[in-house]
Amino acid sequence: MSARPTPLSGFPEWLPAQRMIEQRFLDRIRTVFELYGYAPLETRAVEPLDQLLRKGETDKEVYVLRRLQADADDASDAALGLHFDLTVPFARFVLENAGKLHFPFKRYQIQKAWRGERPQEGRYREFTQADIDVVDRDTLGFHHEVEMPLVVADALSGLPIPPVRIQVNNRKVCEGFYRGLGLSDPDAALRAVDKLDKIGPAKVAALLAETTGATDAQAEACLALAAISAEDASFADAVRALGVSDPLLDEGLEELVRVVEAAREHAPGLLIADLKIARGLDYYTGTVYETVLRGYEGLSISSGGRYDNLASSGTDRFPGVGISIGVTRIMGLLLGKGALGISRSVPTCVLVALPAEQRRADCDRVAAALRKRGIATEVSPTAAKYGKQIRYAERRGIPFVWFPGEDGHEVKDIRSGEQGAASPDTWSPPEPDLRPVIHEG
């Protein structure tokens, strides 16, 4: 007797009902991405290790690819690894295909990625991401930074999930403020402030003194900046009230005001300027986005920002802005809390009852006529008593059972018990029953 298999932690496998929810999420996200003009792209699962290891902090997370029976002198596969995000392969794709692309190039990617980190709530070793990016040659218009959160808001607002809150900041605001204070290492200051939620303001102040040489007054000003947040442009007045001036700070505030005001017009209450958002600012060069679900504020479900150094080749430079939705993270969070459900566990809307095995061909013709009109239909697997066939439909949540007769057909809504004559060429179910309906649990 073989042992029962043990699930692999961090590699989620959804049940069919859960997978239908995920597919519906992906359909919604894909549709919205295309409505905004993003073209589909899928890159290979593997990249050269030297490309994947450019970000030093991911060294221990990359899955290396090798053949079990590889020849000792064949190192071709040993130099490959599975991608841990979709940004690295996208940068490589842009460089390889720059001569074939039309700029600005807008693409979306919905793919799996692999990251060998310790599995915990919201973190997986295999996961699906949905990314959009816009890249251009040499320069990139700021209006793309304004559009990013609007696309994500439209994609997520059509899903049965809690409301989202998009937090935004701008690298130029932080760096310009630190420069204006007289701090010589803005990157070190960003890294210190990024630890605010984990270690608290007192330890961040000490870290600022240790890593940047900040005085007590300078550290206090950094913490005052991080404490500012607003849903409207008033955050800019709060920053200016701190009495720090720098041209880069002024530029960053102007950009952040544009992002916030556009979002307020598009979807009031969606976006908040939160100047403690520092994660990724050492990589991003402009606006940065972090998205959370209301009630699940501990984990970001979508993040991204403006980058000017994604890819370069010789004198060519390709700045861009992008944002990623963590589809698996959203699914895991909500399914784990029982906060997502679906009206039935199969796509089937109609079960055609089988009066006798000899009638299967007739029943198949009924099913084919219904399918031709877009109604998901299956024929009963056995010619059991009708009561058993109805129970088969009930267990799967199939709402209608079709009874074929030699002189006509009838269809029954097994939830209400209503039954009436019907023709496979004209009958249609109520619109809400046509496909499984996702709902909050």
**Which CATH number covers residue 423?**
3.40.50.800
Average predicted confidence (pLDDT) for the chain? 92
Residues 32 and 114 in one domain: yes
Q: Is 127 exposed, middle or buried (0-12, 13-18, 19+ CB in 10 A)?
A: buried
**Which CATH number covers residue 31?**
3.30.930.10
Tell me phi and psi for residue 64, to 5 degrees: -90, 140
Q: How far apart are CA 91 and CA 312, in angstroms?
A: 9
For residue 235, name the pLDDT band (cuts at 50, 70, 90).
very high
* Lowest-confidence region among 25-29, 53-57, 299-303, 377-381: 53-57
Q: Is residue 198 part of a domain?
A: yes
For residue 204, name the pLDDT band (cuts at 50, 70, 90).
very high
Residues 355 and 392 in one domain: yes
* DSSP E strand boundaries for 26-154: 39-40, 46-48, 64-65, 80-82, 105-114, 126-135
Q: Percent of the chain scored above 70 by pLDDT?
A: 96
pLDDT value for 314: 74
Q: Which residues of 64-98 are buried (b: 16+ CB within 10 A; e: fewer)?
A: eeeeeeeeeeeeeeeebbbbbbbbbbbbbbbeeeb
Average pLDDT over residues 268-278: 92
Q: Is residue 366 part of a domain?
A: yes
State yes or no: pLDDT of 26 exceeds 90: yes
Q: What would the pLDDT profile of 137-149 be if each residue is shown by its tens digit?
A: 999 999 999 999 9
Residues 143 and 262 in one domain: no
Q: What would the pLDDT profile of 309-349 be if each residue is shown by its tens digit?
A: 877 777 889 999 999 999 999 999 999 999 999 999 999 99
Q: What would the pLDDT profile of 68-97 be if each residue is shown by its tens digit?
A: 777 766 666 668 999 999 999 999 999 999
pLDDT value for 79: 85
pLDDT value for 73: 66
State yes or no: pLDDT of 56 exceeds 60: no
Average pLDDT over residues 363-387: 98
pTM of the model: 0.92
Residues 121 and 169 in one domain: no
Task: Name the residue range of residue 435's domain.
Answer: 350-440
Q: Is residue 303 part of a domain?
A: no
CB 422 within 8 A of CB 411: yes
Tally of domains in the chain: 3
Residues 284 and 358 in one domain: no
Taking residue 395's Cβ as centre, other Cβ atoms within 10 Å add up to: 10
State yes or no: pLDDT of 14 exceeds 90: yes
Name residues whose C-beta falls within 8 Å of residue 358's C-beta, 6 or more positions apart in sequence: none
pLDDT value for 316: 85
pLDDT value for 58: 60
pLDDT value for 184: 86
CB 357 within 8 A of CB 379: no
